[in-house]
Amino acid sequence: MVVDVRGLEKSFGEGANRIHVLKQVNLQAHTGEILMLVGPSGCGKTTLLSAIAGTLRVESGTIEVFKKPLEKMSGGALTKFRAEHIGFIFQQFNLIPTLTITENVSVPLLIQGVSSRTANGRARAMLEKVGLGERWRERPNKLSGGQQQRVAIARALVHEPPLVICDEPTAALDAQNGEIVLDLFRQVARSVDRAVIIVTHDNRIFSYADRIARMDDGEIIDVHEQSADSPHFIHDHSDPKP
């Protein structure tokens, strides 16, 4: 088991303005699977993802990632843990515009203390894998949204993290690019023993999930397993139910 969340509670605000965002959340993620967290806006998906990623402290409950209890780690230890174990893919890609895509992809390696030369070499190899090897000198603003997301995927994988966290990875993409990105995610999850957790409310991509956890009002209301052997990207947003 990669992630084991039990009895998670999280609130924001004080007094009358206090909002209970996560209520006794239990969730597990396994090696080699794509787990999607879905639900309406404001239901607590991103908060849960942040907690699993170790970027947000919770009030009660336990979060074990690779059997390490995150809630017991110091800030410094948590930062180091994130650098070594987690790959991040953000909704807005968050690529640094003044760096080339190779330099962007090399950032997680630089954070781990890898030399610049080695990091750039590994970054270029990763860009080859996501089909952008020819464009290694380009800056992000020269690429399409889909290509930028592929760069972000390369950045998330370059240091070979066993857990990849994705926040709305297809929200800013058209159908064609969304499909390319989701195929990449499948390869990522299957090629090595790696877990991919995706927060999304994009119903076009639900068929790519091995499991879907539905959230509403801070609770997980349903975890649904499905066969993702022949996924398909739904182009017209119809039939959101998996």
Partner 1 sequence: MIGLALKMLFGDTAKFLMLVAGLFFATFLIVQQASVFCGLMRWTTSTLKNVGAPIFVVEERVEQINETNPLRDTDVARVRSVAAVRWAMPLYSGLQRARLQDGSFKTIQLIGIDAASLAGAPSRMIEGNLADLRLPNTVVIDELATQRLSSNPDDPAARVKIGDLFEINDKEARVVGICAAMRSFTGGPYVWTTYQRALEYTPASRKMLSAVIAAPIEGMTADESALAIEKATGLRAYVNRDFGDNPKDFNTSTVWWYVKNTGIPISFGTTVIIGFIVGMAIACQTFYAFVLDNLKHLGALKAMGMSNFRLSIMLIIQAMTVGFIGFGLGLLATSAFAAGALRTGEPPFFMPWVIPVGAFVVVQVICMVAALMGIIRLSLYEPAMVFRA
Nearer to partner 1, 159 or 211 (CB): 159
Task: For the segment 40-59, give every residue that binds partner 1 (CB under 8 A).
Answer: 46-47, 49-50, 53, 55-56
Tell me: does residue 206 bind partner 1 (CB under 8 A): no
Rg (CA), the chain: 18
- Of 27-35, 163-171, 185-193, 213-221: span binding partner 1 (CB under 8 A): 163-171
Is residue 11 within the footprint of partner 1 (CB under 8 A)? no
15 binds partner 1 (CB under 8 A): no
Secondary structure in 3-state letters for 39-104: CCCCCCHHHHHHHHHCCCCCCEEEEEECCEEHHHCCHHHHHHHHHHHEEEECCCCCCCCCCCHHHH
Stretch binding partner 1 (CB under 8 A), from 32-40, 61-69, 90-98, 184-192: 90-98
Which residue is listed with tokens 């290694």? 136
Would you state the structure tokens that stand for residue 207, as one six-digit string? 């068929």
Told to check if 79 binds partner 1 by CB under 8 A, we report: yes
CA 191 from centroid of its chain's CA atoms: 17
Q: Show the site string, 115-144: x = touches partner 1 by CB under 8 A, - = not.
A: -x----------------------------
The residue with tokens 């006794």 is 24
Task: Report if residue 110 touches partner 1, rule: CB under 8 A.
Answer: yes
Q: What is the DSSP letter of 230?
A: S
Task: Tell me which residue of 146, 160, 143 sits closest to 101, measured CA to CA.
Answer: 143
Closest CA to 110 of 152, 155, 55, 141: 155
Determine, following the binding rule CB under 8 A, whether residue 86 of this chain makes contact with partner 1: yes
Interaction site with partner 1 (CB under 8 A)? 46-47, 49-50, 53, 55-56, 76, 79-84, 86, 88, 90-92, 94, 96-99, 103, 107-108, 110-112, 116, 167-168, 171
